Structure 1
């Protein structure tokens, strides 16, 4: 499990709803990687249109806490 304090520090000051671009920038990965996390690794999203997705900061936090134990 990742360190909760480190994850909280990473997410501090970010909005409650993040775009996939914002998550990609925050995590320093491509948007395709974020989409893979959504499609195959259980990162929860809210769909607000056919190509519009938002990720709740609280869902991202929980996912990050367990991400080091997930299998791709």
Structure 2
């Protein structure tokens, strides 16, 4: 399990709704990886159009806290 303090530090100053590009940049991964997290690993998004998705910061925080368990 990831440290809540580390996750909170990572997300400090981020907007309430993150684009998938912002998530990718924040985590230093590709856009494809973020899309895979959404499709296969349960990262919750809000769809605002056919190709527009937003990740709520609070949901991303919870997902990160559980990330080690998701990959097992």
TM-score by length of 1: 0.97
Structure with the bigger percentage of helix: 2
In structure 2, the residue matched to 1:70 is 70
Which ranges of structure 2 fall in alignment gaps of 5 or more residues?
A: none
1:61 aligns with 2:66: no
Give the alignment's TM-score, normalised by structure 2: 0.97
Matches within 5 A, 1:17-32: 17-32=17-32
Shift of 1:62: 0.1
Mark the runs of 5 or more structure 1 residues left unpaired by the alignment: none
